Structure 1
Amino acid sequence: MCGIVGLVSFTQDLAHRSDLVESMRGALALRGPDEVSEWSSPRALFVPRRLAVVDLSGGHQPAVATDAAGRETVVLNYTGEVFNFAELRAELRGRGHEFRDRSDTEVVLRAYQEWGPACAERLRGMFAFAVWDVRTEELVLIRDRFGIYPLFYAETPDGFAFGSEPKALFATGLVEPVVDRTGLLEALSFTPTPGLSVFRHTREVIPGEVVRYSRAGVSRARYWNFTPREHTDDLATTERTVREMLEDIVRRQVISDVPISSMLSGGLDSSAVCALVNRSLGGGDRLQTFSMEFAYHLENFRPDEVHDSPDAPYVAKMAAHLGSEHRELLVDRDHLADREAQAAVVRAHERPVAGLDMYVSLYRLSQEVRRFCTVTLTGDGSDELFGGYMWFHDPFYVKSRTFPWLGASHQMEFLSGLLDRELYHELDFAGYTRDRYEEAVAEVPLSGEESAHERRMREITYLNMTRYLRVILDRKDRLGMAASIEGRVPFCDHELAEYVYNVPWEMKVADGREKSLLRAAVRDLLPEAVLQRKKSPYPTVQDPAYRTALRAQLKEITERPGARVNDLLDPARVESVLTDPTYGLRAGVTRMSIEAAVQLDHWFESGVRVEL
């Protein structure tokens, strides 16, 4: 894992820009606390930071290839993990390549030498990297198939900038943190659009995409997407195949030269990953597991529409079953309402998020994990792939012609409820959501042989895998990196995803429940109570004291002279939140919208400008 940032210019000499180097290396310090370096030439400047995980003495960045005469030919700035690097190294050795270390970084470098940008098709894992081809003066950016690691870019007045996060681009002084109308819609509509950043003139490399920049300009091409295929395996074979694939994936992903752990929520996904990791460790190091619980829920939890039970009892059952070294972090109202923790979340994401309490609790959990481990595995991606969310199963949500997670909320405003009503209607949030949805559905890969219901379930799966999963993976990455933790996601293996994407829906719900295919595949690994537990999403705090704290924060913001966020807020709705015992719910303001106002304040305080 590393943080990468770089520049290309065909008009200025970048070889001796120490001023730029100093600024760029500070922007991504948490992504790479173990090593910082630089590489420069007249046309290109790379400033990588490294979090050492595999081959601690090797794998230095950037990786540089030379020709027979010792001239530099290819320079690699790389972040991530390629889990089939051993097989690729053997193949590349057979093709005449020599290796100086045992890192996957050098394998990616040699793979690029051998196959060029097409090397991406051979990589199995999570990665984002930049290659400067000295011979052709071309920059190539490549991102993994699911966007597990972020990668942004922007054209500058005299060239091109790239980085793991937008803040790295801003550190060059050539890109500005400006949010325009489209950016504000993207930030507050909860309809993630692949390729779009919330910042003007800044784009994100689409998962499974290659972006190239040269004197001829910018070009983009996809190297991967889901491909519809006929599924010929019967149910028993499908269950066995999923299990075998998961065992192989986890076996590859536990490779590490630093302490490794697993997140445990007591649900099917994280429990399955923990059990598979525990088996892969083979009785060596004792598995370390971590969980989070809201202190209020220990005695006051109430079932709601999506949370049927608290996590803690199931976590305890699973940790005892595994014999893991388990640590539980209790989070209370003061932790959630802490302004510095909230600001840290906004700085990490560089945008408002939906469900600030969840993000602050996960930020604090990441800080706790980092005290003991550098790598952690999670169950992220399973719900999107196997159909775990409620909106896969309720006919009302399935039939809703919008993003299913918006249908599941009855299209309430997640983040825009306190936005000025005139501005809200002028921006046309409803139209923006509709257009993004229609674009997304139009790109769903279909064979043309699906029944109407199978087609719809394929659409919902694709929307989750390409849009909703982006939110989940960004959360994992940004909050993990805020604590310098590498997060690995076994369910986001592209070979597994390709296989399960083509499994007919009736097989995925063979026992009439969510994720029945996965449940059957891991049935022997889990205690019965955990195996049969109903899907419960990441918890949101029920403590009324948190609502009170948010209300107090909103009041402070509205009374603070010069608080720029007030220019975007609707005074009548703000007043309803501050005076109505229901906190404005009757005016249509959800708690997430109050959290959004608090986050917008932190965002603007960090230097972001809104130009509508």
Structure 2
Amino acid sequence: MSTIHASLNLIDQQPAGCERIEKMLEASAYWRPDATHQLSSCDHACRMARASLINTRQSRLESVHRDSSGNMITANARLDNRDELAGQLEIPANELEQHADGMLILLAYKRWGEACPKQLLGDFAFVIYDAVQDKVFAARDHFGVKVLFYTRTESEWLLSNEHNAFFTSGAVKKVIKESWLVQQLWALRSNRFESPVNGIETLPAAHSITLDRTGNASISRYWDLEERDDWNGWDDASLIDELKRRFEQAVRSRLNSEYPLASELSEGIDSNGITGFAARALGEEPLYTLSYGCIELDDDNRHIWEATYQDIYEMQAMHANIQPIWRKQEKNNSLTLQQQTLNRHAGVPMPVKDGAHISYGRLAAKKGVRTLLSGWGGDHCVSTYGDFYESELLNQGKFITLHRLLREKRARGRSGKPAKAWAGLLLKHAIPPLFRSLMRRKRGLVDGQHHLAHSHPLKRIHVERYQLMQKQQEFLKQYERYSVKAHHQRELFDVGVEPRLVESELCSRIYRIEYRYPMLDVRLVELAYNMPSHLKVYQGIERYMYRKILEGVTTERIRWRVKADVQHPRYDHIDNNNRSESRESIKDQTDDSALVRDYLDLDGSKQAKARRLQKGIELLLEIEEQRQSGEMEITKAS
């Protein structure tokens, strides 16, 4: 893990000198880097810097690298295909260990030019200065595990994966986009991470960008998830064996660390698979696990956690080297404090939807951990439920197979009566608007979004100005899919995988932790995407192909049970320290806030969820405090 910074002066502009890049580096001081490096191009048109966290042997070799042609690179990278690259680049096997990942990427650029990201596997964000063509080329990994921001000022291009670097450098003012603010308050879903600040852009996942000194920028996509026929003719058993091989390799390739490792572990099959395979691969080396809030079970909370923890205890007992991390219940509102910590280091408010990113980093760091495995992204493709297989069969005219599937899902408790399921399916295909209308009456995402639209206290002027109702309807319309592969595309790219990854990176960096995601291994995802749909929901058993590969690494109960049997924590009984503030408390906080009154109608918010309302108010109050001190502004839509 590292933070990277680069500046490229525009033509006819005076070089910014070392001060700009040094001030960008200052933004990383909070996480106490193990080393920092700076380098300038020969003509001083480009300057680069890097703040390093050492967690692997290769990371000890990382720096801002320069080759014999004067090309430079600063990279935050963890490559999975080092051996393959070495062969393609004709690097002798006995010399590969002397090459950091950043240097391999620079050599790949020299060989393939702007096509080099297509040759890379792993998690990466990098910036290259091409001394011959006098331009900057940068890229980000396939799913967006590593983030990269950029901006253009009057005199230069700036790039960094440290959001606050744009402010510590003095290059960008803290001007919050009102469009971003109202979408945060409204909780409108987004498929990509967006900086709150006007002028700071986020390079999309699986994209590269070329910046020249005339001020021009060119962005292109270098990878997409596509249908492939590589496995045509393979039987079911061979396909599942290949899935297991690739999954195990995805886990193993993410265990490279000179420090202890930790893994998220719930009672779900995604985290169980990763933790189980990792524990096996590590042998006698310890693997720490983090579960839910890591609250230690005692007599005061037994009614909340005991049933949930039982599954986790049984899984942990299968692997002698698993060492669970537990802590005492905290009396303060830790999520609020953690959110404030992130905001301070990001330079602006940056709401996090899942506080586990921060709390896990803090707990793991106390054990000396610098690498944390996560099962996030699994059910988006690799451990898919096989949703929309029914629509796929209907479109293919396979009515007998479809009816059998509906009966099998009914027997497993995953569907209603076949006749009712048929009626809903036919209505979905024949009259989509009527189907969407009926879906509002069911508890679920559609109903929840509909309720949000009609109960949220955001004032109507903002809802109308930014067309939030229309955007929500567009989101719900594209949410419908008619095949399993279309569902994978939706889950991976359309409903917000990337924002969660960025949140995790920014939060864990505070505690010198790097997140790694085996479920987002490119070769694993490409295979899972192209596996036949009948293996994804086989004889009514959802997530079948993934369940098959978990034999011996988790309990049989976890491996085969239905979701309805999962024992979730009884949050209704969790004490008030972990509940949202009362509405009376909310009113007390906001009586004197002009900004809250500008955006929210609290008198009409009785149906809004208190926790969501509280988070929105905390966001507005923090912005208001910085506005009053002159540090921050809000810009409205033109």
Bin the TM-score by the shorter chain: 0.7 to 0.9
Residues 223-280 of structure 1: CA distance to partner in whole angstroms, max 9, x if unpaired? 1001123563333222211101011222222122222222212321111111111222
Q: 2 CA distance for matches of 1:351 and 1:537?
A: 35
Question: Post-superposition shift, 1:604?
Answer: 4.8
Change (3 A) 1:234 1:554: farther
Q: Percent identity?
A: 21
Range moving further from structure 2, 195-204 or 89-98:
89-98
Q: 1 CA distance for matches of 2:218 and 2:302?
A: 56
Change (3 A) 1:539 1:343: farther
Q: 2 CA distance for matches of 1:474 and 1:118?
A: 25
Describe the SS at the equivalent of 2:505. helix
1:161-560 alignment runs, 5 A limit: 161-187=158-184, 188-194=186-192, 196-216=194-214, 217-230=216-229, 232=232, 233-281=234-282, 283-293=283-293, 295=295, 298-301=301-304, 311-330=308-327, 332=329, 334-336=331-333, 339-347=336-344, 351=349, 353=351, 355=353, 358-359=354-355, 361-372=356-367, 373-386=369-382, 400=436, 406-407=445-446, 409-413=448-452, 417-435=456-474, 455-466=482-493, 467-535=495-563, 541-542=571-572, 543=574, 545=576, 546-547=578-579, 549=581, 551=583, 554-559=586-591
Task: Give the TM-score taking structure 2 as reference length.
Answer: 0.80
Change (3 A) 1:148 1:538: farther
Q: Which residue of 2 aligns with 1:597?
A: 617
Residues 186-233 of structure 1: CA distance to partner in whole angstroms, max 9, x if unpaired? 434432244744432222111110110003510011110011235633
Q: 1 CA distance for matches of 2:436 and 2:569?
A: 25
Point out where structure 1 has 5 or more consecutive residues left out of the alignment. 68-72, 303-308, 442-451, 577-583
Question: Post-superposition shift, 1:28?
Answer: 2.8
Point out where structure 2 has 5 or more consecutive residues left out of the alignment. 389-413, 416-420, 429-434
Q: 2 CA distance for matches of 1:504 and 1:366?
A: 38
Q: Which residue of 1 aligns with 2:410?
A: none
Range moving further from structure 2, 562-571 or 197-206:
562-571
Q: 2 CA distance for matches of 1:31 and 1:527?
A: 38
**Aligned residues of 1:54 and 1:256 also touching (Cα < 8 A):** yes
Question: Post-superposition shift, 1:45?
Answer: 2.1
Q: Which residue of 2 aligns with 1:445?
A: none
Q: 2 CA distance for matches of 1:34 and 1:375?
A: 15
Question: Post-superposition shift, 1:3?
Answer: 0.8
Describe the SS at the equivalent of 2:129. strand
1:61-80 alignment runs, 5 A limit: 61-67=63-69, 73-80=70-77
**Aligned residues of 2:167 and 2:174 also touching (Cα < 8 A):** yes
Q: 1 CA distance for matches of 2:570 and 2:183?
A: 23
Question: Post-superposition shift, 1:475?
Answer: 3.2
**Aligned residues of 1:250 and 1:276 also touching (Cα < 8 A):** yes
Max Rg structure: 2
Describe the SS at the equivalent of 1:322. coil
Describe the SS at the equivalent of 1:326. strand
Amino acid at match of 1:222: R
Change (3 A) 1:347 1:506: farther
Change (3 A) 1:570 1:437: same
Q: 2 CA distance for matches of 1:195 and 1:266?
A: 29
**Aligned residues of 1:157 and 1:174 also touching (Cα < 8 A):** no
Question: Post-superposition shift, 1:318?
Answer: 1.3
Residues 75-107 of structure 1: CA distance to partner in whole angstroms, max 9, x if unpaired? 111002001113322432359997682422222
Q: Which residue of 1 aligns with 2:142?
A: 145
Range moving further from structure 2, 488-497 or 388-397:
388-397
Range moving further from structure 2, 561-570 or 317-326:
561-570
**Aligned residues of 1:374 and 1:485 also touching (Cα < 8 A):** yes
Describe the SS at the equivalent of 1:145. coil
Residues 369-406 of structure 1: CA distance to partner in whole angstroms, max 9, x if unpaired? 01221111111110211465798777889965999984
Question: Post-superposition shift, 1:137?
Answer: 1.3
Question: Post-superposition shift, 1:61?
Answer: 1.9
Residues 482-540 of structure 1: CA distance to partner in whole angstroms, max 9, x if unpaired? 21101111110111111111223332111424322211121232111221344469979
Kindly report the root-mean-square deviation, in angstroms, between the aligned alpha carbons of the 2 structures: 3.6
Residues 523-573 of structure 1: CA distance to partner in whole angstroms, max 9, x if unpaired? 2321112213444699795425143536466344313x4564443221313
Describe the SS at the equivalent of 2:270. helix
Q: 2 CA distance for matches of 1:89 and 1:553?
A: 61
Amino acid at match of 1:93: E
Q: 1 CA distance for matches of 2:39 and 2:335?
A: 40
Change (3 A) 1:415 1:194: farther
Describe the SS at the equivalent of 1:166. coil
Amino acid at match of 1:427: Y
Change (3 A) 1:405 1:605: farther
Change (3 A) 1:416 1:182: farther
Change (3 A) 1:347 1:243: farther
Change (3 A) 1:84 1:428: same
Residues 406-452 of structure 1: CA distance to partner in whole angstroms, max 9, x if unpaired? 426353439993322332333321112334667x77xxxxxxxxxx9
Are residues 1:112 and 2:109 paired? yes
Describe the SS at the equivalent of 1:220. strand
Change (3 A) 1:52 1:332: same
Q: 1 CA distance for matches of 2:335 and 2:349?
A: 18
Change (3 A) 1:299 1:533: farther
Count of residues in correspondence between the two structures: 572
Amino acid at match of 1:209: H
Describe the SS at the equivalent of 1:170. helix
Amino acid at match of 1:506: H
Task: Give the TM-score taking structure 1 as reference length.
Answer: 0.83
**Aligned residues of 1:59 and 1:102 also touching (Cα < 8 A):** yes
Q: 1 CA distance for matches of 2:581 and 2:334?
A: 6
**Aligned residues of 2:176 and 2:634 also touching (Cα < 8 A):** yes
Describe the SS at the equivalent of 1:255. coil
Amino acid at match of 1:597: I
Question: Post-superposition shift, 1:468?
Answer: 2.5
Change (3 A) 1:548 1:464: closer
